[in-house]
Amino acid sequence: MANYLFIASALRPFDGPPMSGPQVYDLMMKHECWEVTASSPHFKKMKPGDTLVFYLGGQKGRYIAGEAIIADEAKPITDTSPETFDRKQVPYFAWRIPLRDIRRYEPKNAGLDVIERLSFAKGSAVERKYIGLLLRNGCRLLTDSDLSLIRNSVPD
């Protein structure tokens, strides 16, 4: 099984105020899914049983919020898909990944201090003050050691 870190940042609907990373996360966890664009990094490699970890970016975030297991194959979002977002305001998600075994972490316990110790950050020349640049691509592959480090950083 593989492990992935999804980065949720503010989401801008066509009309109305933006949704913060924590609001996006809460909405998707309420619907037990994660929605992605067709070009989301690593998306095509994800399989049922893989672990997804969620980092919330932006001013109201900057912490790892939780994890979940992919429950089933991703499904294309159609007019008959369960509604998570108002599809007229947020039409850019093309796939819905169903989740199970959702585990939410206490907010703000695992932040950038944990991110900078993950394999993709340690292997980078980016200075700590610019670590957020490594979180711009939306999804990162995590090693089993990375997942253990994250889990050991949050209280049970």
Q: What is the pLDDT of residues 12-26, one digit of tens each?
A: 899 989 999 999 999
Domain count, the chain: 1
DSSP the chain: --EEEEEE--B--SSSPPBPHHHHHHHHHHTTEEEE-TT-TTGGG--TT-EEEEEE-STT--EEEEEEEE-S--EE--TTSPPSS-TTT-----EEEEEEEEEEPPTTSS-HHHHTTSHHHHTS---GGGGGGGGTTSEEEE-HHHHHHHHHHS--
Domain containing 149 equals 3-153
50 vs 108, residue with greater confidence:
50
Distance (Å, whole) CA 94 – CA 101: 23
Identify the band that residue 127 occupies on the pLDDT scale cut at 50, 70 and 90. low
The pTM of this model reads: 0.92
Compute the average pLDDT of residues 114-119: 88
pLDDT at 6 over 80: yes
Q: What CATH number is associated with residue 28? A: 3.10.590.10
Distance (Å, whole) CA 9 – CA 29: 15
